[in-house]
Each structure stands twice: as C-alpha cells, then as structure tokens.
Structure 1
Amino acid sequence: MKSIRVTIQLSVLLLLSMSQLMAQPTVLISYYSKTGNTQAMAEAVARGASKVEGITIVLKTVEETTNEDLLNAGAIILGSPVYNANVAPRVQEFISSWPFEGAPLKDKLGAAFVTAGGISAGEEVTLLNMLQSMMIFGMIVMGGDDWTAPFGASGIRGEPPFSGDEPLREAFLEKGEKMGARVAGVLLKMQP
C-alpha cells in the first residue's frame, strides 16, 4: 500500500513538472542558410532569447520547422539571406505554407533577421517583407531593442570592410542577441 502511494505521488510530481515545462512560452527561431552566415545570426538570436528565464527556445531550419512548431510557439523569429533585395525562395515557400484558415498565428509575436552580401543590398526591404507577411497572418511584429535596429537584426558579409574569410562581425551578432532577448522578454511579459 505504501509503495502504491509513493508511485502515485511520484507520478503526480512528474505530471506537474511536465505541465510546467509544457506551459513555458516558446520562442521559435526558424531560418534558411546556404553559406552559414544566417545560421550564425540565428544562433546569436537564440543565445539572446535564452538569457530570459522561463522561455523555451526552439532553433530549426525552415526545412525542419513544422506547422506544429509554428502553432506551439508564442513568438516566431524568422531569418533569411537577402536574395535580390528579397527573402530566399525557400523562406518564401515556407511562409506560403503557414496555416492561414482560422488565423491560428494571430497575436503571436513576430520578428525577423537577415544577412546580406553588401551594404544597402536590400536588408531593410527584406526585413520589412518578412514582417509584412507576419502581419498578414495577424501577428504582432517587433524589431530590435533600439532605434539602430527598428526592423530587426541584419549582418553584412560580402562587401568591404565586411568581407573576407572572417565570420559575421560581433556587432551584427550582438544585434541578433539583443533582438532575441527583447522578443523573449516581451513574450514572457505577455503571459497571464
């Protein structure tokens, strides 16, 4: 009888701890990266978001991300390289596959980040394209943590002085970290 009671108590504790984990708000960071630059920015965004306690972070490529991931997230941060002043085709295909009927993404937070080959090569236009897509889905969009990143985070990799074999500069990655932390912090504040 005592062992049954202990088993029941342990089962209840396990269920309670599982429900607390499941109840944590989730930040989904989904990205496409061909050369690794956008992946580096995605990892920086995830580092920033992980600094906020009480948040679950999910980091996946757009190919790995499912509709269930989108529906389970309280915030979706989307990343793309800049292709001809627009999102990469794989990112556009991903956005076009999002569930629309019944507005299941409505009132989720949304933010974006990009990496580009050159200065003034379409970073802000691409960020705005992603944010506009999120607005079509009824999401609440936000940018970085101050006036220097109002549309999100971006990094430049292909034009001097930001070229060569070196990785994305720390200043760009820091903008990604700050945006990730801001989105996670706002999501946490929105919880009941």
Structure 2
Amino acid sequence: MTTPYILITYYSRHGSTESMAKYIARGVNKVGNIEARIRQIPNISVTSEQIDAELPESGHPYVELDDIASCSGLLIGSPSYFGSMAAPVKHLIDQTSTLWMSGQLCDKPAGAFTSASSMHGGHEMTIQSIMTPLLHHGMVWLGLPYKNKSLISTMSGGTPYGASHLAKSTSESNLTLDEQLLCEAQGKRVAEFALKLR
C-alpha cells in the first residue's frame, strides 16, 4: 500500500510562496504515516492560457491532475494579485472539473497560503478566492486557529484563514519566525486531519 500524501502545490514568481511551501512540508513531515509532496504550478502564456514551458527550469516538478486526484489533503499557495489568486493557479483549478464530477476530492482536507508585498495587499481575500472552488469540490476547509500563538504575536504575515507572508519587496522571500511557525502549523494540521478522515 502506498503512503498517503499531502499535496502542497504553489505558484511563485519571486520565491516567497515557494519558501512557504517548504515550511508547510516540514509541518506535514512532523506527522507520522503521511508525507509531503511539493509541486509547482507552471506559468501560463497571458494570451493563450497555454503552459509556458513543458518542464520547469528549476525547483519542484510541475503539478499534474493525478497528483491532485490521489492526494489525501491539498494545500494551494499563490501570491496575492489584487486580492485574488494568480492566473496560473486559477487556470490549474479550472482544469479539475473531471475531479469535481467524480467527487475525488470530496471530504479531503484543504487549505491555502499566500504572499503579498503589503500588509493590506489582500492576504485573506486571496485565500478565500482559493477556498471557494475547493468548497465546490466538497473539500473540508482548514484554517489556522488562534491556539497558534504566532497568530497573535505576528507583526507580518499570518491569518486565521491560512498562512501568509508579508514580502516587503519583490526580491524578498525571507519568512519571519512567526510566518515559518504558522506555515508548519498549517501543514501539520492538514496532515493530522487527513489521517483522521481516511
């Protein structure tokens, strides 16, 4: 029997959401009998909605529908673009209608994480924009409860909707300690729920 996994898939232009994905994976890996699988979402051509490249130049492999279909839990990361998910993330989600019709994601735990370059750059709205289609899939949404002390002490990213990062410049992907701890907490929580729901 194969080991169940939490799929952590992200789109990242400047490295922030990729960094978050790695800390979320650390949280998943703190839970026994389940593993983290990190996959990146490819960029798309603005004019044609076609994937820019067949293989990533660097980083994690591209996500495939089979990765999503077979996961025991799902976490999606996106930079915040005007309070919403990035176009490549929306494009990926739009490809999941066959999974919706078959109910393959129903009753599996899900969450989202984001990065924005300003404190009020739409952290919560971006996470909610990802949440809506996953609720249509019948997934069980998990945020971050305030029992995580970093959610109270953070002076940068972090929301009860899901982990977030305040990237003060487009070249900055260094997460604060609070942001790191919240990412790990989110990964751990989704992994624990996935095992409970299996």
Listed as ranges, the gaps of 5+ residues in structure 1 are 1-18
Normalised TM-score (structure 1): 0.81
- Identity within the alignment, %: 29
Tell me the equivalent position of 1:128: 128
**Counterpart AA for 1:136:** H
Normalising by structure 2, we get a TM-score of 0.79
Tell me the SS of whatever aligns to 1:34.
Answer: coil
Classify 1:116/1:104 alpha carbon distance in 2 versus 1 (closer, same or farther; 3 Å): same
Unpaired stretches in structure 2, ≥5 consecutive residues: 43-61, 152-158
Computed over aligned residues only, the root mean square deviation of the Cα atoms, in angstroms, reads 1.7
- Supply the distance in 2 between the matched residues of 1:176 and 1:58 (Cα, whole angstroms): 15
Instruction: After TM superposition, list the pairs within 5 Å mapping 1:125-164 onto structure 2.
Output: 125-146=125-146, 148=151, 149-158=159-168
Q: Please say if 1:175 is aligned against 2:182.
A: yes
- The CA deviation string for residues 117-160 of structure 1, in whole angstroms up to 9 with x for no partner, is 1001100011111111100111111112436442110010127x
Deviation at 1:171, TM superposition (A): 1.3
Q: Indicate the residue corresponding to 2:47 in structure 1.
A: none
Distance 2:146 2:21 in 1: 19
Cα gap change, 1:145 to 1:49, in 2 (>3 Å)? farther
Q: 2:19 aligns with which of 29, 35, 40?
A: 40
2:35 to 40, 56, 59: 56
- Would you tell me which structure has more helix in proportion to its own residues? 1
1:23-80 CA distance string (max 9 Å, x none): x321000000000001000101001111001002110102311111111101000000
Conserved? CA contact 1:82–1:122, under 8 Å: yes
Q: CA deviation at 1:188?
A: 1.5
Separation (CA, whole Å) in 2 of partners of 1:150 and 1:166: 21
Name the structure 2 match of 1:81.
Answer: 79
Decide whether the 8 Å contact of 2:19 with 2:173 is kept in 1: no
Aligned CA distance change for structure 1 residues 121 and 101 (closer, same or farther; 3 Å): same
Task: Measure, in 2, the Cα distance between the counterparts of 1:166 and 1:68.
Answer: 29
- Aligned residues between the structures: 167
Paired letter, 2:8: I
Structure 1 segments (4+ residues) deviating >3 Å: 163-166
Q: CA deviation at 1:164?
A: 7.7
Name the counterpart of 1:110.
110
**What is the one-letter code of the residue matched to 1:48?**
G
1:145–1:178: 8 Å Cα contact kept in structure 2?
no
